[in-house]
């Protein structure tokens, strides 16, 4: 048996193994509660924790309530991945829910939900009593496939780090937690970076919060009908609404479509959401809240709940605010208000899209500058690229089992210089390639993929 020497992405430790890469994630270090923009809200009962593996990137978002609460669920779309969903459908009126967990990693990430339950027990918050068992529910998004060059997934270690780091009143917006590698708009080829969003509204003593991880096949839509985030086809009109994209089907999904006439991955997608109110609600009222808010999300994501989406929405009542007589705000009112808050949360999920590096046409690099960059760079057991220098130009070709974004297996692509160490592959989905000591970084920043030199 031939042995191969390799270096893992997460450490400098090199091992001799019979396969190219190990699947062991034990050396990965969780990054807890990282944040750029955040939603701040005053609600001690609702604690939020996030944790990420930068090497993925992928992550987990945990909502832990101060005591057991009443929960309901509504599932849409053709590809959901959930844990303990059926229990919430039984309609019991006893508050039994401890936590809601969102995770990346597709079905492998479902481990995160049960890991939070075991952390509740291990930490002495819950035990083995019939009425004091830990109950966590959760759902996943698909953030694997061609959007990254490895298959790291949120595991028990990551989920428990997020749970133990949970804090009240702070929710990171954008590419954090379970939204670390979310995308939106794949149905129309937008393939925009997405993330997790949240919004909060208080009316008197009534509190309503909405949280969502938008990994949708459809496009995120502003309140005026315009498209919030999209890598647009260069032939599209500058002003184009989501409704016009839908009306233009099937041609609007094809390259070269020029928009409506002036005459008279991406198939694995999910939006997972949570709406929380402090109002006391019956199981029937809470279920209707889940259905109504989930239905309303078709305004902010178009199309919504397709056969390739796995959309799931949880509704929670913390039961802190008793119903008054006569009712000042009815359950129907709450449904309408919460639907509006959820649209705000959807919009808050969209990060600023990265700006593509622009090649410098005046920059002419010589062979002695390019040759040190040549070599084979390994991203995972199935992804690697070969970089070659010839005639004062630099080329890259995928040599693993899969393409590496715009660097494909079929033929070499030229890397156009931005600087002596940074290069670009222009296109609708631009690719930035940066060389550092012993490694190459594709799309440096929040969504970067790192390959180690072989």
Residue ranges of the domains in the chain? 24-348, 367-453
- Strand 97-103 versus strand 58-75 pairing type: antiparallel
At residue 14, the pLDDT reads 35
Q: Of all helices (H) and strands (E), which one includes residue 338?
A: helix 331-348
* Main-chain dihedrals φ then ψ at residue 226, nearest 5 degrees: -75, 165
Could you tell me the CA-to-CA distances from 68 to 45, 128, 164 in Å, in that order? Answer: 10, 15, 17
Quick one: average pLDDT of 116-131? 96
The yes-or-no answer on residue 270 being catalytic is: yes
Task: Give pTM, 2 decimals.
Answer: 0.91
> Which ranges in 76-110 belong to alpha helices (H)?
85-88
The 10s digit of each residue's pLDDT in 152-211 is 999 999 999 999 999 999 999 999 999 999 999 999 999 999 999 999 999 999 999 999
- In sequence order, what are the beta bridge partners of 220? 301
In 137-191, which residue ranges form alpha helices assigned H by DSSP? 156-164
Query: Residue 447's pLDDT band (boundaries 50, 70, 90)?
Result: very high
pLDDT digits (tens, 9 = 90+) for 249-284: 888 888 888 776 544 355 578 999 999 999 999 999
CA 355 to chain centre: 20
Q: Does residue 403 contact residue 388 with C-beta atoms inside 8 Å?
A: no
Which whole number is the average pLDDT over 82-91? 95
User: Which residues are CB-contacts of 35 (< 8 A; sequence separation ≥ 6)?
Assistant: 50, 170, 172, 173, 176
CATH number of 367-453: 2.40.128.50
Residue of 403, 391, 435 lying closest to 146 (CA atoms): 403
Helix (H) or strand (E) holding 286: helix 283-296
Residue 4 has pLDDT above 90, yes or no: no
The one catalytic residue among 61, 82, 270, 318: 270
When the pLDDT of each residue in the chain is averaged and rounded to a whole number, the result is: 91
Q: What percent of the chain has pLDDT over 90?
A: 81
pLDDT at 6: 32
Predicted pLDDT at 19:
36
pLDDT, tens digit (0-9, with 9 covering 90-100), for 202-248: 999 999 999 999 999 999 999 999 999 999 888 888 888 888 888 88
Compute the chain's Rg from CA coordinates.
24
| Amino acid 254: pLDDT | 83
User: Is residue 304 a contact partner of residue 74, using CB atoms and an 8 Å limit?
Assistant: no
Does 16 have pLDDT greater than 80?
no
Sign of CA dihedral 337, 343, 346, 352: negative
Cβ atoms of residues 412 and 398 within 8 Å: no
Q: Please report the pLDDT score of residue 87 as a whole number.
A: 96
Q: Which of 22-26, 188-192, 379-383, 419-423 has the lowest mean pLDDT?
A: 22-26
3.90.1150.10, 3.30.300.130, 1.10.630.10, 3.60.70.12: CATH of 24-348? 3.60.70.12
Average pLDDT of the segment spanning 72-100: 95
Is residue 139 within 8 Å of 80, Cβ to Cβ? yes
> How far is residue 100 from each of residues 26, 78, 298, 440, measured CA to CA in Å?
24, 21, 23, 37
Return the pLDDT at 261: 55
Strand intervals (E) in 170-309: 170-172, 183-184, 192-193, 196-203, 206-215, 219-220, 270-279, 301-302
* pLDDT of the residue at 263: 40
Question: Where are the alpha helices (H) located in 174-255, listed in sequence order?
Answer: 242-247
Percentage with pLDDT > 70 across the chain: 93
Give pLDDT tens digits for 38-81.
999 999 999 999 999 999 999 999 999 999 999 999 999 889 99
384 or 8, which is more confident: 384
- Judge whether residue 13 has pLDDT over 50: no
Give the pLDDT confidence score for residue 240 in this predicted structure. 83
CA within 13 Å, CB half, 266: 21
């Amino acid at each position: 048996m031939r042995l191969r020497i390799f270096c893992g992405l997460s450490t400098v430790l090199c091992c001799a193994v019979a396969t190219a890469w190990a699947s062991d994630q034990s050396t990965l270090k969780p990054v807890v509660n990282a944040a750029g923009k955040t939603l701040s809200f005053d609600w001690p009962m609702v604690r939020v924790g996030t944790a990420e593996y930068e090497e993925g990137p992928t992550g987990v978002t945990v909502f832990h309530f101060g005591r057991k609460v009443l929960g309901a669920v509504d599932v849409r779309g053709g590809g959901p991945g959930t844990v303990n969903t059926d229990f919430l459908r039984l309609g019991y009126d006893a508050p039994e829910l401890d936590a809601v967990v969102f995770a990346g990693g597709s079905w492998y990430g479902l481990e995160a939900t049960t890991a939070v339950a075991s952390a509740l027990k291990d930490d002495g918050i819950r035990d083995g009593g019939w009425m004091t068992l830990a109950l966590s529910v959760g759902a996943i998004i698909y953030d694997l496939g061609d959007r990254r060059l490895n298959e790291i997934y949120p595991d028990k270690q990551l989920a428990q780090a997020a749970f133990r780091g949970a804090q009240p009143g702070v929710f990171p917006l954008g590419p954090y937690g379970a939204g670390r590698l979310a995308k939106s708009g794949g149905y129309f080829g937008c393939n925009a970076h997405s993330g997790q969003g949240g919004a909060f509204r208080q009316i008197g003593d009534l509190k309503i919060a909405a949280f969502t991880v938008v990994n949708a096949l459809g496009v995120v839509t502003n309140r005026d009908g315009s498209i919030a985030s999209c890598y647009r086809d260069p032939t599209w009109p500058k002003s184009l609404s989501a409704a016009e994209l839908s009306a233009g089907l099937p041609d609007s999904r094809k390259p070269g479509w020029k928009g409506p006439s002036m005459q008279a991955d991406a198939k694995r997608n999910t939006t997972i959401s949570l709406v929380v109110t402090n109002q006391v609600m019956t199981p029937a009222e809470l279920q209707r809240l889940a259905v109504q808010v989930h239905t309303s999300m078709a305004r902010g994501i178009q199309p919504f709940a397709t056969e390739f989406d796995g959309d799931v929405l949880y509704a929670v009542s913390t039961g802190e605010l008793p119903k008054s007589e006569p009712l000042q705000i009815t359950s129907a009112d709450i449904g309408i208000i919460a639907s509006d808050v959820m649209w705000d949360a959807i919009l808050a999920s969209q990060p600023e899209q990265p700006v593509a590096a622009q090649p410098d046409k005046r920059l002419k690099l010589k062979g002695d500058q390019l040759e040190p960059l040549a070599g084979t760079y390994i991203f995972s057991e199935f992804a690697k690229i070969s970089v070659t220098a010839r005639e004062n130009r630099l080329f890259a070709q995928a040599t693993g089992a899969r393409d590496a974004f715009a660097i494909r297996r079929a033929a070499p692509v030229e890397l156009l210089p931005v600087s002596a160490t940074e290069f670009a592959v222009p296109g609708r989905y631009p690719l930035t390639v940066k060389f550092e000591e012993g490694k190459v970084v594709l799309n440096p920043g929040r969504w970067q993929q790192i390959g180690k030199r072989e």
